């Protein structure tokens, strides 16, 4: 941002407070919180700034599956959702189990305006056999390890991985799923799967491996992060484990606290993901987990697929996209009076970075400008054709939300502006 920009009458929502200020940005830095003039002045009396959001569970599909998404389009989708940093999962082709693949991702992402952090594989090729070289991966630039997309089936392998990762201060993210229990299931096992005659995924699959991971982490006294929590049982177990001092953190996605298995009655594969949409009791439990802090982070598990892949309900791969709708969906809870803006900043910008050991952007004089600027009262309808991802499998398609990121600033530059939004430019 070579010229100066003044964001006048801006509401700023951080993890500890909400305040009003006139934010002056010049040469990429926040120069003042009570600026008077600038080259461009925006009237931001209707706008709220959060620290740039961080999505710690994203599938960029690059390398290897770039028909679905690539690093450039994935980062464009991130910016449109107010996301200035993300962690990308390792189930690419090749998998992220060598320094060369880590460097490829970092190099391709360096000019996107998004702080991309690759997640390395726990096991080579995500095969569950030989452990990856954690030292080499960390030196190359990974932020965590995971075999996301599948579990590490062997408990002793997982126990060793937790210990070895902890020695190197590398977070471990677990995709909790017992494949034998899943046994070909494609939606939640319950009333809807029975009525449709579709093989179901029993919630015991997720609950069992979640319990296993926490037992292993507790035994070794090391951290574990549980991905995409979707069941009542998981929330209750994690809440109890935290009370017992287990070093466990976890995340969920907006679709797990807003939607249920009722969506798959349409036989539309855009509502199929793993773990699946579950029952109302699960939705309520996940929501309660978010509200009481049991669930640390709100992420998306952004998983792009081509429209052709998603055509056949039975054969389609699991996954939905969500970076451009995550803040809007979560703001539903603010509008309902259930969540405060500082809580949203904590779940979507602060905690994910803290878990991964990354610096949290400050909205303070002298800091680099890294902001998600949203109109909390702007009503819009999710149209997959207008999204920035290559994919169209948006789980909230057709839904109307109130609240939307309209400008994203990262590295001190305006990297995204909503073309349809009526910005009020004073000068």
pLDDT, position 1: 45
Domains belonging to the chain, first-starting first, are 5-49+365-389+397-417 (2.30.40.10), 52-355 (3.20.20.140)
Select from 74, 111, 34, 14 the least CA-distant residue to 341.
14
Q: Are strands 248-252 and 297-298 parallel, antiparallel or unpaired?
A: parallel
* 135 labelled catalytic: no
CA distances from 180 to 60, 91, 184, 211, 215 (A): 28, 20, 9, 16, 20
User: What are the phi and psi torsion angles at 60 (to 5°)?
Assistant: -85, -15
**pLDDT tens for the 427 residues of the chain, in order:** 458 999 999 999 999 999 999 999 999 999 999 999 999 999 999 999 999 999 999 999 999 999 999 999 999 999 999 999 999 999 999 999 999 999 999 999 999 999 999 999 999 999 999 999 999 999 999 999 999 999 999 999 999 999 999 999 999 999 999 999 999 999 999 999 999 999 999 999 999 999 999 999 999 999 999 999 999 999 999 999 999 999 999 999 999 999 999 999 999 999 999 999 999 999 999 999 999 999 999 999 999 999 999 999 999 999 999 999 999 999 999 999 999 999 999 999 999 999 999 999 999 999 999 999 999 999 999 999 999 999 999 999 999 999 999 999 999 999 999 999 999 998 7
Q: Can you give the pLDDT at residue 427?
A: 77
Separation CA 270–CA 382 (nearest Å): 14
Distance CA 198, CA 192 (A): 8
CA distance 368 to 373: 15
Q: What is the pTM of this model?
A: 0.98
pLDDT of residue 97: 98
Looking only at the bridges linking them, the beta strands covering 29-32 and 248-252 are: unpaired
Measured distance CA(142)–CA(77) in Å, rounded: 22
pLDDT on residue 289: 98
d(CA 258, CA 114): 27
For helices 280-292 and 232-243, the axis angle rounded to 10 degrees is: 30
Single out the residue of 78, 36, 79, 40 nearest to residue 57, CA to CA.
Answer: 78
Taking the CB of residue 426, how many other CB atoms lie within 10 A of it? 12
CA 391/CA 307 separation, integer angstroms = 7
Instruction: For the chain, give the longest Cα–Cα distance.
Output: 65
Given this model, what pLDDT does residue 3 score?
A: 84
Kindly name the residue from 22, 301, 370, 418 that is annotated as catalytic.
301
pLDDT score of 2: 52
Tell me what pLDDT residue 168 has.
98
55, 192, 38: which is closest to 119 by C-alpha? 55
């Amino acid at each position: 941002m070579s010229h100066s920009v003044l964001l006048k009458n801006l509401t700023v929502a951080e993890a500890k407070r909400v305040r009003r200020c006139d934010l002056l940005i010049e040469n990429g830095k926040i120069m003042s919180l009570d600026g008077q003039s600038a080259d461009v002045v925006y009237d931001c009396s209707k706008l709220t700034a959060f620290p740039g959001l961080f999505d710690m569970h994203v599938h960029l599909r690059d390398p290897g599956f770039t028909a679905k998404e690539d690093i450039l389009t994935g980062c464009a989708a991130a910016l449109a959702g107010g996301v200035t940093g993300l962690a990308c999962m390792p189930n690419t082709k090749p998998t992220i189990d060598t320094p060369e693949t880590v460097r490829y991702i970092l190099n391709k992402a360096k000019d996107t305006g998004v702080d991309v952090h690759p997640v390395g594989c726990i096991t080579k090729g995500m095969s569950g056999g030989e452990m990856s070289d954690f030292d080499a991966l960390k030196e190359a630039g990974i932020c965590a390890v995971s075999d996301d997309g599948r579990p590490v089936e062997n408990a002793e392998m997982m126990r060793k991985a937790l210990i070895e990762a902890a020695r190197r201060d590398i977070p471990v993210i677990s995709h909790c799923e017992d494949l034998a229990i899943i046994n070909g299931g494609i939606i939640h096992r319950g009333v809807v799967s029975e009525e449709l005659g579709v093989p179901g995924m029993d919630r015991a699959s997720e609950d069992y491996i979640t319990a296993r991971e926490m037992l292993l982490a507790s035994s070794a006294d090391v951290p574990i992060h549980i991905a995409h929590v979707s069941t009542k049982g998981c929330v209750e177990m994690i809440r109890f484990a935290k009370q017992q001092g287990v070093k466990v953190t976890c995340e969920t996605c907006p679709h797990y606290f807003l939607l249920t298995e009722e969506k798959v009655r349409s036989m539309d594969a855009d509502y199929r993901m793993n773990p699946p949409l579950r029952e109302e009791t699960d939705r309520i439990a996940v929501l309660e987990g978010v509200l009481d802090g049991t669930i640390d982070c709100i992420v998306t598990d952004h998983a792009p697929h081509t429209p052709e892949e998603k055509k056949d309900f039975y054969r389609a791969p699991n996954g939905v996209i969500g970076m451009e709708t995550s803040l809007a969906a979560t703001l539903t809870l603010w509008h309902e009076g259930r969540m405060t803006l500082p809580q949203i900043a904590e779940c979507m910008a602060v905690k994910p970075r803290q878990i991964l050991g990354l610096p949290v952007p400050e909205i303070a004089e002298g800091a680099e400008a890294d902001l998600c600027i949203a109109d909390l009262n702007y009503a819009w309808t999710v149209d997959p054709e207008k999204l920035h991802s290559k994919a169209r499998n948006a789980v909230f398609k057709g839904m109307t939300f109130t609240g939307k990121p309209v400008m994203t600033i990262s590295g001190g530059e305006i990297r995204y502006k909503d073309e349809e939004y009526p910005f009020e430019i004073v000068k």
